[in-house]
Amino acid sequence: MSDLQRQQQQQQQQQQQQQQQQQQQQQQQQQQQQQQQQQQQQQQQQPAACGVLIVILLGR
């Protein structure tokens, strides 16, 4: 193998590693988005539960 071929192979390997790291970062971002969505749903449920309690108390 000539020196040029070796250098090209090393560069290709480095590029592949960088792509893998980028994919991992994207997965982490997706997980964070899911957590935010769950928190929003919980916040929406709480006011509804309070409203139901008030209706029950007023009904008595």
The tokens for 7 are 């250098």
Task: Evaluate if residue 1 carries a pLDDT over 70.
Answer: no
Kindly tell me the sign of the dihedral angle through the C-alpha atoms of 12, 18, 24, 26: negative
Strand (E) or helix (H) holding 54? helix 3-59
Domain of 13 in residue numbering reads as: 1-60
Report which of residues 48 and 13 the model is more confident about: 13
Give the HSE-up count for residue 17: Cα atoms under 13 Å, Cβ half-sphere: 6
The domain tally of the chain equals: 1
d(CA 11, CA 13): 5
* CA end-to-end distance (rounded Å), the chain: 89
* 27-57 residue pLDDT tens: 888 888 877 777 776 666 666 667 777 777 8
